[in-house]
Chains A and B, each alone.
Chain A
Amino acid sequence: MPFAGFNMPINYKTGIINEHKNVRNHSGIFDVSHMGQILIENNESYLHKLEKYIPLQLNKLIKNRSHYSFLLNKDGGVIDDLIVSNIDIKDKSYLYIVYNASRKKEDEEIFISCAPNAEKIYNKNCLFAIQGPDSINVLKNIIDIPNNMNFFDILISKYNNNEIIVSRSGYTGEDGFELSIPNESAENLITHLLKNENTMLCGLGSRDSLRLEAGLSLYGHELNENITPIEAGLSWALDKERLEDENLNGNKVLSDQLKNKLSNKKIGLISTSKSMLRDGMTLFDNNNNEIGKITSGCFSPNLNKSIAIGYIISEFNTDNPIFCEIRKKLELVKINNLPFVKKNYKKNGSIYE
């Protein structure tokens, strides 16, 4: 199916549910080469300009660590969500940023305006994610992985004499790694990994159901330019000191939102019947008043029910029943805390030096 200008598989031959379970129980490999990858020289003036958009203290990022963050617009809305890491490549210090394929144009306009010599590397490097509890065992036979590597640690390793960027991360709620590898060695690496019987190629379908079970937001669904990270329930990812900084886009809006009540809140929902909850469905209270919308929905293979993430108005008391309109009928849905399935990350370190 077409996805952000790429032709991407929804699933491979065994189907979405099987791929999903294989990631939860063993491991699975996702080709995410469509995503944006850029290297920005770690220089004071570039970092200062980027800090207008990124709510982190970029000059204080610990080497070999990654951070979930955003590009923010003037109103604090999310232009994109991304992972920013501080790494050295050939003795030079860089910010390595991975961002959404669907937002390349908007993001790169900002990156290039802040750092004219920023280097997009996604045309010469593939990006693969290997996810699931067995990922470490599948990978460590092939690539050097230090025992003390934690979730969101990142380093340069070698495969076939090529330098590859290895980060312990992913978007499934499981332990796993992302590998940025030069195109010429990419096929070899995948073939090599797939020799392990406990892994398999996985498509966009299971990637979506895995991230949804893990309660993770997806750009274009839970996140867009009209939603701030705070409204999306992601204030943990904001550096609170930066909210006092006039240089940060939308800093006033964001600090006000932190102090005051929001108009909407993000919730997790589970279907009480076998019907599927899907993106765009409308939510009602028991008096038929519209109270919100679903932004992502899928079948959860772990819970054997449909699950969803959505936004409802803050004043709605969640002890009251919620109904979802499914094919012109109202069906009762239940609130469920996010995530739906516990995350299994290898423990986190701190953010700054």
Chain B
Amino acid sequence: MGAYMSEKKYTKDHEWVSIENEIATIGISNHAQDSLGDIVFIELPSVGNSVKAKDEICVVESVKAASDIYAPIDGEIIEVNNNLENDAAIINQDAENKGWIFKMKISDSNQYSELMSEDEYKQFLEQ
């Protein structure tokens, strides 16, 4: 039984989500980091918090503005990317890989399947 790695999905708030063994990894999309510009600070969420989809759970500060990051689905925060604490610019360099922000244990996988695929997100950006 190998680990199951899902395809990457996207929210309308420009977050990406990928799921492995019921653990979701979340970050902001490459498009989002590009529009935010130089990211200088991230306020990470607290590990152990239970959150609902659409809850504001952390904040990314760029030289231009502060932007809220929303929980894409219900679940519990189980890990945060502590590397971002010292160097939030990792998100600018590699938003959809090394720039992951937090991991959550998800409670409802249906919510995940309702998110946009990469192609759907591309179309969404073009609108």
Where the two chains meet, the residues of A that have a C-beta atom closer than 8 Å to any C-beta of B are 10-11, 15-17, 205, 209, 274-276, 278, 298-299, 306, 327
From residue A23, how far is it (CB to closest CB) to chain B in Å? 14
Q: Is B38 in contact with A15, judged by CB distance below 8 angstroms?
A: yes
CB–CB B66/A15 < 8 A: no
> Which residues 1-58 in B have Cβ within 8 Å of A in the complex?
37-38, 40-41, 43
Pairwise interchain contact B63-A16, C-beta atoms closer than 8 A: yes
Q: Does B64 contact A (CB under 8 A)?
A: yes
Query: Which B residues are within 8 Å of any A CB, using their own CB?
Result: 37-38, 40-41, 43, 59, 61, 63-64, 66
Identify which of B37, B43, B66 contacts A278 (C-beta below 8 A): B66
Given the complex of chains A and B, what is the CA–CA distance between A10 and B43 in angstroms? 24
Nearest CB in chain A to that of B68: its residue: A327
Contact A209 B63 (CB under 8 A): yes
Most A-side CB within 10 Å, residue of B41, B43, B63, B66: B63
User: CB-nearest residue of chain B relative to A17?
Assistant: B38
| Chain A residues, Cβ within 8 Å of B40 | 274, 276, 299, 306
Determine the chain A residues whose CB is within 8 A of the CB of B38 once the complex forms.
15-17, 299
What separation, in Å, do the CA atoms of A347 and B108 have in the docked complex?
A: 68
For the complex, what is the distance from the CA of A202 to the CA of B118, rounded to whole Å?
Answer: 33
Query: Which residue of B37, B41, B64 contacts A274 across the interface (Cβ within 8 Å)?
Result: B41
B63's partner among A274, A275, A299 (CB-CB below 8 A) is: A299
Establish whether residues B66 and A16, one from each chain, have CB atoms under 8 Å apart when the complex forms: no
C-alpha gap A67/B63 in the complex (Å)? 31
Residues of chain B contacted by A278 (CB below 8 angstroms): 66
Min CB gap B60→A, angstroms: 11
Contacts of B64 in A (CB 8 A): 10, 16, 205
- Which chain A residues border B61 with CB–CB below 8 Å? 274-276, 299
Picked from B37, B41, B43, B59, the residue with its CB within 8 Å of the CB of A15 is B37
A41 to B38, CA, bound (A): 46
Q: Which residues of A contact B43 (CB under 8 A)?
A: 275, 327
Chain A's closest residue to B86 (CB) is A274
Q: Which residue of B lies closest to A208 (CB)?
A: B63
Expressed in whole angstroms, the Cα–Cα distance for A33 and B117 within the complex equals: 43
Given contacts A275-B61, A298-B63, list 10 more A-B pairs with CB under 8 A: A16-B37, A16-B63, A205-B63, A205-B64, A275-B41, A276-B66, A278-B66, A299-B40, A306-B40, A327-B59
B41 touches A11 (CB 8 A): no
A274 to B61, CA, bound (A): 9
What are 23 A-B contacts defined by CB distance under 8 Å?
A11-B37, A15-B37, A15-B63, A16-B38, A16-B63, A16-B64, A17-B38, A17-B63, A205-B37, A209-B63, A274-B40, A275-B41, A275-B43, A275-B61, A276-B40, A276-B66, A298-B63, A299-B40, A299-B61, A306-B40, A327-B43, A327-B59, A327-B66
Bound Cα distance from A173 to B3, whole angstroms: 57
Residues of A close to B37: CB separation below 8 A: 10-11, 15-16, 205
Interface centre among A274, A278, A298 (most CB of B within 10 A): A274
Closest to A15 in B: B38
CB neighbours (8 Å) of A274 from chain B are 40-41, 61
A120 to B61 alpha-carbon distance, docked (Å): 40
Q: How far is the CB of A215 from chain B (nearest CB, A)?
A: 19
